[in-house]
Structure formats: structure tokens, C-alpha cells
Amino acid sequence: MTESDPRRRRDPSSISRARRYTPRGRTVREAADGAEDNRARENGARDREAARRERNRTAQQHETDDLAARRRREAAARSRERRQRETGTVTEPRKPEAEPRRTGTVRSEPVRRTGTVRPGPTRRTGPINPPRRGGTRVRATGPIEVRPQASLPRIGNPRRRLRMAAAFVMILLIVSGARLVQLQVTDSAAYAAEALNQRLTTEPLPAERGAILDRNGNRLAYSIEANYIAVDPGMVKGDPAELAARLTSLLGRPASDLEPIIATKETAQGDPIRFAYLQRGVDLAIGDEIREFENPGLIIGEDERRVVPGHDLAANVIGFTGGEGNGLGGLEATYDDWLSGEDGEVSYERSQSGQPIPGAFYREEEAVPGNDLQLTLDDKLQFQVQNILQDTVKEHDAEFGSALVMEVGSGEMLAMASTPTYDAANPFDVDDPEAYRDYATQATVDPGSIHKAIVFAAALEEGCIKPDGTMPVEQTITKGDTVYKDGYEHGDAVLSLAGIIAQSSNVGTIQLADCIGKEKLYEYQLAFGLGRPTGVGIEGEAGGILQEPQNWSGTSYGSVPIGHEGTATIMQMAALYGAIANDGVYVQPTLIDHKIEADGTVVEQPEPATHRVVSQETAESLQYLLQAPIAAETGTGRSAQLENYHLAGKTGTGGLVVDGEYAPGNVTSFVGFAPAEDPQYVVAVSVYVPGGGGGGTTTGEAFKEINEFALGYFGVRPATEPAPAFDVWG
């Protein structure tokens, strides 16, 4: 070994590099010499790893196949058990085969240290077939038969559950869709209408009722702004009884009347009640007070209230209206269609609080106001006539009475008074419904001697007697089984026609009627307007009873001419005397001057119906002769003499039939016209006095006072000549 040998330069105390050992117990040289063995060893390890992985994959595949086979076997076993249970034959379940025991582990033989690499043991990094929970362990070396247990739980079928769930969802969707189609398409209109009806409220818009005016334009009845109080029972908050108790003092109605209206939510047919009146025509202040209740069920709307400033002035003629604003009596009822107009209405949606919903459905039909009615009555004359009548009734203890003034020629009624009467501004506060009656047109009585004017006119017209003629008149006369006598004691005397009229001779009148004949007398009765209503315009006007000639009895020849066995109204008798005052021409009485439409257009009334009854000569003669009862010394109407004016008229004493029998006392009357020489106005007064009395003594003073005021009020010039002197004796 030379100096240049590198081995000589190594530390002699160190172990020779050749003798050094590797961790595996080999020398470095051995390790270097076995490099290729190392590569072979490494390649072998890689091959072994690949083989191990292949075995794992094969084992997993076997395990999967074994699991599927096991499930098939379990399903077959369950099927067999089910069939056995159904058929009743149960076999002993087959015992599972014993699992072969493992006798050891697989190891690789150790490699001797002969310079070659000894294959080491193959390590498992994990179980080839790890046991599954609830399943049977499978050996890693191959498939293991899995036998079913005696009773295994039934494994659910997810596909069937999904199908069932899908079917249920589908059915639910179909039902829901069908219901939606029904709601949105088939029944949508009905449900929408029902929902709208629950919110919709319809309130009336009352039309303003027309006014009733007198001939001078003064308002006798008119309407002012007011409120109505109504209720929607379905929206009322609180106890209906308590609400009714709070309203009773404000509305003037008992709580027992209000509570059923508030509490009743449905009609008898089951329909909901959304609007019901509690009271109409209440003052605006009361409406404001009720509005402060803040109850959504109460409805306060615009209304009107009828005002009658004269209260009882011509109340029996004007009439009154009811709670719904419709006419119930007098002219209010007769001309209700003309006065009432047409109501409108407003429909809108309300919220639960009772307030209108902004922007929601709203519809309004405007009301058409009513028209006005202008009468022929004069309020000042009416006031005086009414006072005079009431004083007369009170003075003579009369039960009822009537008085009227009619214009000659036109038939216009200037005044019509009745007593008892009532306050038309508060029409329901009366003790007796008879207070509503207009006695001038609705009370029929035996006219008595005022009927004799027809006999006198017919006798003159038929030539039975001349205006200045005379005839013998006895104190009594018998017709049938009845004796008729004169009230004025004159014995057997010759009386002039003026004397017969002045003394109201029953005997003389019956004798003139015998000359006329019953058929002709009946014709004159009809011509003078008896037996039928005059048509003056009062609702319920009576026509009276007129005895036809074929129905006359023996006493009729005495009773009919002097105003018995028949009935008439004082209005009919006034029209009769109006025909005499109008030179023999009958004019239908009227209360209507003209009508006025809502826009102010005047609707003139047609001329009243007229017809001639007697000649002008006959009428003028009778105008003169009818002064005799007032001017003659033996006249029955001397109490009616009026200074400065000449009056003409006739007194009468008739009877009142009640329940088919004559009531005690008399119906006394006085009918005539003034001035006698130029008739302008007809005046008629009639009262029923249960205690009895004569026409002149009972009604003569009232006849005079009414004529005196009327002639002065209308400016009729006084007479310049003295009253005529009549020779009553022939």
C-alpha cells in the first residue's frame, strides 16, 4: 500500500470504512454491492402493494356481491315465511352453517441473512371486509353465506313511499286547483258579490218635499233640513238594550220600540238587514249629539222635516205627513205624488268602523225635489174664519162645526175651517182621531131648510110660481103618515114667495115640490151638485146620499123637499148657493190655484167644470128673494143683519145620523152670499149642537161676522141703498 493510497490517510483508530455497518446489519460494501438487489427488493414491494390493493378491491367486490345475495336470500326467506303463515304451515328455520374457524394468520417466511433480501410479513392496513352494523361478518378470503334469521324486520321500500307521497301530493294539488278554479272562475262572481254586499251600504237620499202655499205665496207647510237616524244591526257595538235606552229620550220613541229594530239582524227570509230607520226628521242638533256616540252601527243621514208654521191653521185642509214623509191626510195625501218628488240613494263600501272606504265603490243617484202647490186659501181670512167658528162652537156647546168662504164665479175656496182641529206640526198628539176630519167635506148631515133653495129655484124655473107670486099656505100638511108643520105660527094664510122663504115654511115648500114633481126635483138636485163629491181636492170627500124617485115612500114627498131623507156636506150646499149667486151657473169648487214645478215653472190649472142649472132671470130673482130671511121682520136669519151691506142667505136645521139613527140635537146651518145685489163671496157655517137650537140663533152671528170681515178685507164697497122691504103676506 503506497502513500498515495487514500486508505493510508484515514484515521488508524477509526473502524475501517469497509467494516462499518449499516443499520440493517450490513456493511457499507455489502450495501453497495447489493444495490441491484435493493432495486429488485423495491420493485417487489411495489408489486406486493399492488397485489394487496387488488386483493382489497376483489374482497370489497365480493363483499358487495355477498351483501346483495344476502338481501335476496333474506327477501326470499321473508316471502317463504309469509306464505307459510298464510297457508298455516310453519317450518323450522334452517340453522346457519358454522363459520369456518381461523387457525392462524398468514405470514411470509423470514429471509435468511445470506446476502439476499428476505421478504417481510405482509401488513394489513385495515380490514378487508369490515363488519357492517346489523349484518353478518364476511371472511376476507371469500364470500360467506348469510342465512336469514328466524324473524327479520321488514325493510321499507323507498320507491313505494315516494310513489305514495307523490300520489298524495298530486291529489292535494288537484283538489286545491279545483277549489281555486271554483273560487276564481265558477263562483268568483257570487263570492265577489257576497263580499261586496257585506261591505256595501245603501242609504236613501230623501227628496225635498214641495211646499204648500196660500194664494199670496205664504208658506202653509214646507220642509227644512233635518237628519234621519238609522241602524245597521250587524255593525252595532254594545248591548242593543242599552243603546235603545240612550236613544229613547233623543228620538222621542220608547226603548221597547227601538230595541227590536236594533237587535234584529236578519229578515224572516234570512237576509241580513243593513239599514233600518229609527226616526226621521230629527233636528240637526239631535243628529250631532247621536253622532258623538261613535257607534258604527248608527247611521245619521240627511233628511227633511215638515214644518207647519200656522200649526192648526187650515190643518184639516192641509193635512199632514207620516214618518216616511208621505202624505196621510188632506191635500198632503191628495197631491202626495206631486209634492213628494223622487228619492235618490247612495251606495258605498263601509269599513268595520262604519266609515266609507276611500277609493272603493261609490254610486249616487240624486234625488228629484218635489213640486209646490199654491192654494186658493188666504191665510189671514182663514185665521179669522177659524177663530169665529171656534167661538161659535164653544158658545153653543157644539160638538163639531165647519165654516167656509168661496169666491163666486171662480169657485175658489178662500177659507175652510173645521173644529175640532189639531196641530199639523205635531199631528200625532191627538186625543181623538176625529180631529183629523175636515167637516166641510167629510161630514154628511141632513141639510134641513138650506135645501129649500133648490125647490124655490126649480119652482121659479118651472113656472110653478112667480117671484112676486102668492099662495095659500096652511099651518100643517100630511104626507104619508107624517104631519109636517111650519115653525112660524101663521094659521091658514096666504104667503108670498118671499114670505115662504123668509119664514122657511115647510108647508109652502112641500106644496111647491108637489107642483114640480119628484122626477124633476131629483134632476135639479143632481144639477146643483148633490149626490156626488164636489172634487174640491180633499182626500176622502163624501158625496152624501140622494134619494132616487123610485125609492120615495109616502113620507118622502114631505121630507125630501125640506132637506130630509138624504144627506149632504156643507161644501155641497155652498156650491149650490154659489150657482144661484153666479147667475144660475154651477162652478166646481177648488182649492188649487196652480201648481209650481221644482224649477219654478207655473203649471196653470184647467178651468173648473161649469154648467148652467137655472136661467139668469131665475137666479137674479132668487138672489133678491134670499134677502128676505135676513131683512124681513118674520125672517129666520135676522141675527145676520149687517150694517152697510146687504146679505142673502138661508137658515137650516137638520139632523145627524149616527149608526142608522138620528142623534139628539140639531145640525144648524146658515148659507148665503154677499153683497146680495152683486154677489162676490159665498159664506157657509154649520155646527152640530147636541142640545138643539135653530140655524138663525146658533149660526147667524157667525155668518154675519165672517161676511163682515171678508167684505172689508177684500175691499168690497158698502151698499148705497137701504135693504129691500119684503111683503111676506099675500
Whether residue 541 contacts residue 442, with contact meaning beta carbons closer than 8 Å, is answered with yes
Cβ neighbors of 54 (< 8 A, separation 6 or more) are none
pLDDT (tens digit, 9 = 90+) per residue, 69-89?
888 888 888 888 888 777 765
Answer whether residue 93 shows pLDDT above 60: no
Pairwise CA distance, residues 434 & 420, whole Å: 8
Return the closest-CA partner of residue 707 out of 680, 669, 726, 677.
Answer: 680
What amino acid is encoded at 503 in this protein?
A: Q
Number of other residues whose CB lies within 10 A of the CB of residue 702: 26
pLDDT at 304: 86
Cβ neighbors of 233 (< 8 A, separation 6 or more) are 240, 261, 262, 263, 264, 265, 273, 276, 297
Beta strands in 308-361 (DSSP E): 344-349
Q: How far does the chain reach from its first CA to its final CA, in angstroms?
A: 219
pLDDT at 647: 97
pLDDT at 380: 97
Exposed (0-12), middle (13-18) or buried (19+): which is 277, by Cβ within 10 Å?
middle
Return the closest-CA partner of residue 516 out of 459, 567, 554, 564.
Answer: 459
Least confident range from 170-179, 449-458, 644-653: namely 170-179
Answer whether residue 353 shows pLDDT above 80: no
Pairwise CA distance, residues 631 & 711, whole Å: 18
Q: In whole angstroms, what separates CA 587 from the centre of its chain?
A: 44
Helix ranges (DSSP H) in 528-642: 556-559, 570-581, 616-625, 628-631
> Strand pairing of 470-473 and 657-658?
unpaired
Kindly state the cell numbers that stand for 428.
200625532
Return the closest-CA partner of residue 524 out of 470, 451, 589.
Answer: 451
Pairwise CA distance, residues 568 & 566, whole Å: 7
pLDDT at 640: 95
> Strand pairing of 200-205 and 219-231?
unpaired
Q: In whole angstroms, what separates CA 1 from the centre of its chain?
A: 146
> Strand pairing of 372-375 and 212-213?
parallel
Pairwise CA distance, residues 151 & 181, whole Å: 52
Q: At what angle do helices 452-462 and 570-581 cross, to 10 degrees?
A: 30
180, β-bridge pairs: none
Whether residue 152 contacts residue 78, with contact meaning beta carbons closer than 8 Å, is answered with yes
Whether residue 448 contacts residue 559, with contact meaning beta carbons closer than 8 Å, is answered with no
Structural domain boundaries of the chain? 20-75, 201-375, 380-713
pLDDT at 75: 86
Q: Is the dihedral of CA 280, 283, 288, 294 positive or negative?
A: negative
What amino acid is encoded at 654 in this protein?
A: G
Pairwise CA distance, residues 468 & 498, whole Å: 8
Q: What is the mean pLDDT of residues 313-335?
A: 90
Q: What is the mean pLDDT of residues 605-620?
A: 95
Place of cell 460494501: 29
pLDDT at 86: 73
pLDDT at 39: 64
pLDDT at 210: 94
Report which DSSP code applies to 103. -
Answer whether residue 127 shows pLDDT above 70: no
230, β-bridge pairs: 277, 299
pLDDT (tens digit, 9 = 90+) per residue, 182-201?
777 776 666 666 666 666 77
What amino acid is encoded at 667 in this protein?
A: V
pLDDT at 550: 96
Number of other residues whose CB lies within 10 A of the CB of residue 429: 9
> Cα–Cα distances in Å, from 343 out to 68, 372, 379, 597?
90, 16, 31, 16
Kindly state the cell numbers that stand for 701.
152671528
Pairwise CA distance, residues 184 & 188, whole Å: 5
Answer whether residue 10 shows pLDDT above 70: no
Q: Is the dihedral of CA 219, 225, 228, 229 positive or negative?
A: negative
H/E stretch holding 191 reads: helix 188-199
Report which DSSP code applies to 551. G
Q: Which of 36-40, 154-158, 518-522, 718-722 has the highest mean pLDDT?
A: 518-522
Q: What is the mean pLDDT of residues 432-453?
A: 94
Band (pLDDT 50/70/90 cuts) for residue 105 is: very low
380-713: CATH number: 3.40.710.10
612, β-bridge pairs: 585
Considering the chain, what percentage of its residues have pLDDT values greater than 70? 82
Q: What is the mean pLDDT of the chain?
A: 85
pLDDT (tens digit, 9 = 90+) per residue, 517-567?
999 999 999 999 999 999 998 988 999 999 999 999 999 999 999 999 999
Residue with the larger pLDDT of the pair 497 and 693: 497
H/E stretch holding 71 reads: helix 35-87
Band (pLDDT 50/70/90 cuts) for residue 113 is: very low
pLDDT (tens digit, 9 = 90+) per residue, 355-368?
677 777 778 888 88
Q: What is the mean pLDDT of residues 219-228?
A: 92
Whether residue 209 contacts residue 340, with contact meaning beta carbons closer than 8 Å, is answered with yes
pLDDT at 532: 95
Whether residue 280 contacts residue 343, with contact meaning beta carbons closer than 8 Å, is answered with no
Number of other residues whose CB lies within 10 A of the CB of residue 298: 21
Least confident range from 154-168, 188-202, 245-259, 652-666: namely 188-202
Pairwise CA distance, residues 587 & 578, whole Å: 7
Answer whether residue 5 shows pLDDT above 70: no
pLDDT (tens digit, 9 = 90+) per residue, 473-523?
999 999 999 999 999 999 999 999 999 999 999 999 999 999 999 999 999
Pairwise CA distance, residues 150 & 560, whole Å: 131
Answer whether residue 280 shows pLDDT above 60: yes
Return the closest-CA partner of residue 417 out of 367, 464, 380.
Answer: 380
Pairwise CA distance, residues 77 & 64, whole Å: 20
Place of cell 165654516: 403
pLDDT at 150: 60
493, β-bridge pairs: 473
Pairwise CA distance, residues 279 & 286, whole Å: 11
Q: What is the mean pLDDT of residues 584-612?
A: 94
Establish whether the linkage from the previous residue to 420 is cis, with ω within 30° of 0: yes
The CA angle 398-399-400, to the nearest 5 degrees, is 95
Place of cell 257607534: 295
Cβ neighbors of 173 (< 8 A, separation 6 or more) are none
Q: 201-375 adopts what CATH topology?
A: Penicillin-binding protein 2a (Domain 2) (3.90.1310)
Return the closest-CA partner of residue 24 out of 146, 126, 148, 116.
Answer: 116
pLDDT at 629: 96
Band (pLDDT 50/70/90 cuts) for residue 349 is: confident
Place of cell 243617484: 365
Pairwise CA distance, residues 704 & 637, whole Å: 10
pLDDT (tens digit, 9 = 90+) per residue, 145-179?
656 556 666 666 788 888 888 999 999 999 988 88
pLDDT at 64: 73
Answer whether residue 354 shows pLDDT above 90: no
What amino acid is encoded at 92 in this protein?
A: E
Helix ranges (DSSP H) in 88-157: none
Domains 201-375 and 380-713 share a fold: no
Place of cell 215638515: 306
pLDDT at 310: 94
Q: Is the dihedral of CA 629, 630, 631, 632 positive or negative?
A: positive
Band (pLDDT 50/70/90 cuts) for residue 206 is: confident
H/E stretch holding 161 reads: helix 158-181
pLDDT at 193: 65
What amino acid is encoded at 344 in this protein?
A: G
Number of other residues whose CB lies within 10 A of the CB of residue 269: 5
Residue with the larger pLDDT of the pair 647 and 51: 647
pLDDT at 97: 47
Answer whether residue 120 shows pLDDT above 50: no
Pairwise CA distance, residues 654 & 666, whole Å: 6
